[in-house]
Chains A and B, each alone.
Chain A
Amino acid sequence: MTGEILLRGTGLTKKYGGAFALADADLTIRAGEVRALVGANGAGKSTLIKILTGAVRPDAGEIEIRGNRIEPGSPARMIEAGVACIYQHANLVPAMTVLDNIFLGRQPTHALGLVNAREQRAQAERLLGGYEIDLPLDTVVGDLPTVKQKEVEIAKALSLDAKVLLMDEPTAWLSLHEVKNLFRTIESLKERRVAILYISHVLDEIYEVAQDVTILRDGRVVAACPVGHIDRPELLRRLVGEKLAREVATHSAGDVNESRRGEACLVCEGLTRAGVFHEVSFALHAGEILCITGLVGSKRTELVRAIFGADRLDSGRMMLNGRAFAPKNPRDAIERGVAFVPEDRHHDGLMLQMSVEDNLVMAMLASVSRHGVLQRRKKAAHTMQQISRLGIKPASPRYRVGKLSGGNQQKVLIGKWLQRGTRVLILDEPTVGIDVGAKSEIYSILKSLKQEGAAILIVSSDIEEVMAIADRVMVMRAGKVHGIYDTVRLTEPELISYIGGE
């Protein structure tokens, strides 16, 4: 599988302030090759991608595409050279149609500068037909389900006649079935001699889809070789360094499942929201982690939102520590000691412009103030305690949350809810888009919370994660409970079959 070299980056370097985000990185991608790019958060992956898309101008280094040197730093120039990127967060214009989104910024035009609508449609149909992608061209993108939006992004990149395709965690929001479809698309792209740079945190995917791998750590390329030459433990070791790798290994060994289940803390009976979920009943005990898993669209998020009082319930009842629990809004739930860490950190959970300290004390201002005036010393003491307990790095209360890595942002978000005598902690996909190292730290935090007697409810699509941290797992299918199982007596293939419904 050695085609011509399509993209070659040499000595790429980018400094932010005094720190190297990327130091002297080399990268080559050949035609018909899938190269995986892996690295912990903050290892320089995003910087490298931004350089390749032209969003960021490197301080030093060269980029060649098919042997031609490209002056870096201009998105338009990189696109013209045949480099396209499928971003992790949707980069579509929600109010425009699928057709307009595919041709964003480069609609075919007549002589007078008028958009050639017929040509545009014909090109789109040819494109989608060629790759067997089924999309309604006239539908407004905002009305499409997330998985379809991802396909629009792929179509958009393909329509560029891209020779080099960067895929930044393309599977982060996809269900298992959709991942299969995506891999099929990648295969057909490879046959068409497209070069793909595939960024993912999911090691399984890398072994399934990539031929070569480049590993970044602390802004440097620490390995670049065929995937076959490096096994999982070695890959992990290179990725996160010696010490953390050992910890991750012990996590998957299953020692977490020793269960010290206490009293039933949150009891749900017959929870129903018309057209969404039906007759959901379960009990969550103090000192246990219960994971809710299922396919995209199985209404797990909707369920936990309703439990938290963010959405309305049509029927059913809940008991919290033996007393009736019927929150009218999140405020009610918070007052009863229920906390919710939403899926989308950026939009729903954190004030990115504010400091670590401000975010940590936001949900508990009452207990660090007197007569409505904040007590600075109390606030600082509390913040330092949380920072060391959660291992937030850098350990500086003044640091802006928006500048933290994804894993550390998630720690701040969890920390925000830890005070206030939280009894029930609900987390929605707590480790999506977080690297292996930070994942393991978050698992440790959750484990120690559990040992302190908290009841933890986690929505997760990551089967490895479920098997690693859950005491029990509840599988949902199309808004109904399919079953609740003890993870000690469950194998991964069994769980997958319950989820998929075979």
Chain B
Amino acid sequence: MKSVARIPNKELAIFFIVTVAIFCSLSPSFRTGENFENILVGFSHMGVLAVGQAFPILLGGIDLSVGSIVALAGMVGFDGFLIFGLPGAIVIPVMLATSVVAGIFNGVLITGARLQPFVATLATMAVYRGVTYAISGRQLFPELATRSIDDDLLLGLDNYVGHFPYAFFLLLIVAGLSQLLLAATRFGRDVYAVGGNREAARLAGIPIGRTTAICYAISGFCAGLAALILVSRMTTSQENLGIGIELSAIAAAIVGGASLQGGTGNAIGPVIGAFLLGVILIGLNLVGITTYAQPVLTGLILLGAVYYDRVLLGRRRLRLGKSQ
């Protein structure tokens, strides 16, 4: 029994399965192969973003700029493919490098300039979006706006194995590697230590600045991967790509058990969180609730998850208090 008790996210997984079961019984169009394909296609990139978001949140921080990094990386891709006519083997690494640099810049603001993560990434959220407009090939060469990208390597990403899109496998790889990183490496232990008790981590000689910068770089990298998935599917990019997506990514990470207090969570929970979000949003849509309700629902789910996190924190505090 003890080994069962140690499985993380098991309540979340059960909740996920029950939710899927309920929608399957309510709506005939929910329990179709196409619908599950839709959910996988619509939310795999969300899962990637949520896994990335878990790193700053584990540190006790947050990354609000991921939506803008998605747009920035997407626009770098647009320019590379359509203005410069470069091949995917060059453009794709450049897109990812751009997102990593954006992430590192967040980290430097937070550790170097000692800004609060919320404020720092709120500011870069505006900055990266602004830069996206400034470099937009759509503005510079209006005739390119209607052309689609036809790079083989990029379009190859938008493919399927049965009902499963490649993006889903990419998500599995990202989540698996992230979990390995968090659970089995010293860097991962350092992340939990910094998030759990910053002062103890500092006194243990853990390089807090470097750990923080890497976490935001990972969050940026995941935003770059999400941009890749989106651009390959749309075969173009836009300045307003990924607007508001940070809200869903944060909600998915927190639903997935990453505590805003820092120090608790993992990389698998956010994946389940992202698909739970997808199942609920698409499911409610299929049983007849309007799409306009989606942001409202996302917000409510976020509130619910944060509230639940507070309740858990209260319980932990109570336990600590009793033992003293």
Residues of chain A whose beta carbon lies under 8 Å from any beta carbon of chain B = 53, 55, 75-76, 79-80, 85, 87, 91-96, 100, 103-107, 109, 113-115, 117, 142-146, 301
Contact = CB atoms under 8 A, between A and B. Distances in A.
A146 B207 CA distance: 28
B189 interface: yes
A95 B202 contact: no
Most buried by A among B207, B263, B324: B324
Contacts of B196: 93-96
A92 B198 CA distance: 10
B206 A104 contact: yes
B239 interface: no
Contacts of A105: 186, 189-190, 193, 201, 204-206
Contact of A95 (B184, B186, B199, B264): B264
A113 B185 contact: yes
Ranked nearest first, the 7 interchain pairs of A and B with the lowest CB-CB distance are: A93-B196, A76-B205, A105-B204, A105-B206, A91-B200, A104-B204, A145-B323
A55 B203 contact: yes
A145 B321 CA distance: 9
B197 to A, nearest CB: 4
Contacts of B184: 114-115, 117
A175 to B, nearest CB: 12
A104 B200 contact: yes
Given A94-B316, A96-B263, A104-B189, 20 more contacts: A53-B203, A55-B203, A75-B203, A75-B205, A79-B204, A79-B205, A87-B203, A91-B203, A92-B197, A93-B263, A94-B197, A94-B320, A95-B192, A95-B263, A100-B192, A105-B189, A105-B204, A105-B205, A107-B189, A113-B185
Given A142-B319, A142-B320, A143-B319, A93 B197 contact: yes
Contacts of A143: 319, 323
Interface string B234-276: 0000000000000000000000000000011000000000000
Contacts of B16: none
Nearest to B188: A115
B204 A115 contact: no
Contacts of B188: 115
30 contacts: A75-B202, A75-B203, A76-B207, A79-B205, A85-B203, A91-B200, A92-B197, A93-B192, A93-B263, A95-B192, A95-B196, A95-B263, A95-B264, A96-B192, A104-B204, A105-B190, A105-B204, A106-B204, A107-B189, A113-B185, A113-B186, A114-B184, A114-B185, A115-B188, A115-B189, A142-B319, A142-B320, A143-B319, A144-B323, A145-B324
A95 B197 CA distance: 9
Contacts of A92: 197, 200
Most buried by A among B193, B196, B204, B316: B204
B166 interface: no
A142 B190 contact: no
B187 interface: yes
Contacts of B185: 109, 113-115
Contact of A146 (B197, B203, B323): B323
A104 B193 contact: yes
Nearest to B180: A114
Contacts of A142: 316, 319-320
A109 B181 CA distance: 13
Interface in B150-191: 180, 184-190
B228 to A, nearest CB: 26
Nearest to A173: B324
A301 B321 CA distance: 10
A124 to B, nearest CB: 14
B201 to A, nearest CB: 7
A75 B264 CA distance: 25
B262 to A, nearest CB: 9
A99 to B, nearest CB: 10
Given A53-B203, A104-B201, A109 B192 contact: no
Interface of B: 180, 184-190, 192-193, 196-197, 199-207, 263-264, 316, 319-320, 323-324
B192 A91 contact: no
Contacts of A107: 186, 189
B204 to A, nearest CB: 4
A144 B189 CA distance: 20
Contacts of A94: 196-197, 263, 316, 320
B116 to A, nearest CB: 15
Contacts of B187: 113
Nearest to A55: B203
Nearest to B319: A143
A129 to B, nearest CB: 23
B199 A91 contact: yes
Nearest to B192: A96
Most buried by B among A105, A142, A144: A105
A335 B292 CA distance: 50
B180 to A, nearest CB: 8
A113 B184 CA distance: 8
B134 to A, nearest CB: 39
Nearest to B2: A138
A103 B193 CA distance: 11
Contacts of A113: 185-187
Given A79-B205, A105-B201, A100 B324 contact: no
Contacts of A146: 323-324
A301 B323 CA distance: 11
B317 to A, nearest CB: 9
Nearest to A301: B324
Nearest to A120: B189
Contact of B197 (A85, A91, A103): A91
Contacts of B197: 91-94
Contacts of A301: 324
A150 to B, nearest CB: 12
Contacts of B199: 91
Contact of B193 (A79, A80, A93, A109): A93
Nearest to A117: B184
Contacts of A100: 189, 192-193
A95 B266 CA distance: 13
A85 B205 CA distance: 12
Contacts of A144: 323
B214 to A, nearest CB: 13
Given A100-B192, A105-B206, A93 B201 contact: yes
Nearest to B200: A91
Most buried by B among A115, A143, A145: A115
Contacts of A91: 197, 199-200, 203-204
A349 B189 CA distance: 33
A113 B189 CA distance: 12
A311 to B, nearest CB: 10
B148 to A, nearest CB: 42
Contacts of A109: 185-186
A340 to B, nearest CB: 15
Contacts of A80: 205
Contacts of B263: 93-96
B186 A115 contact: yes
Nearest to B206: A105
B189 to A, nearest CB: 6
